[in-house]
Amino acid sequence: MSERKTTKEDVHSWTSRYADKAGYMLNPDEEMRELVLEGIAKNKDTHGKNYCPCRIVTGDEIEDKKIICPCIYHKGEIETDGSCHCDLFFKKEDEDTDED
């Protein structure tokens, strides 16, 4: 039996939970969002970790740990740019809007 492949939906599930918990939102642009989710899923299956698809896996375990999504840089990037480098997590634009 082969191992089940990681799906975009798997990644969407935990990244959504993280975004909610951290007070962020996922990229509202579906095409771009799906691209990142797919990239993370691929990295999970290829490298065994949820590496950011916009960062380069070096093979150095300590360095690569920094780029496991959500990476160590994302908070600072969201604070200064409004989104993380890979455009997955965004600062919530309107805190008052509570759409479901």
Partner 1 sequence: MGLGNFISNLFGKEKATASNEPAVEEISTNLYEINTAAFENEVVNSGLPVVVDCFTKTCPPCRKMAPIFEKVAAEYDGKIKFVKMNLKNSPEIAKQFKIIGVPTFLFFRSGDMVTNVVGFVEEDKLKEKLESLLE
Which residues have C-beta within 8 Å of that of residue 70, sequence separation ≥ 6? 15, 18, 22, 84, 89
> Cβ of 83: how many Cβ atoms within 10 Å?
17
Is residue 25 within the footprint of partner 1 (CB under 8 A)? Answer: no
- Measured from the CB atom, is 13 or 46 closer to partner 1? 46
Write down the least CB distance from residue 51 to partner 1, Å: 11
Which residues have C-beta within 8 Å of that of residue 4, sequence separation ≥ 6? none
Q: Per CB under 8 A, which of residues 44..73 are in contact with partner 1?
A: 53-56, 58, 67
Q: Which of 11, 26, 36, 69 binds partner 1 (CB under 8 A)?
A: 36
- Rounded Cα–Cα distance for residues 4 and 86 (Å): 26
Where do contacts with partner 1 occur on this chain (CB under 8 A)?
27, 29, 32-33, 35-36, 38-39, 42, 53-56, 58, 67, 85-88
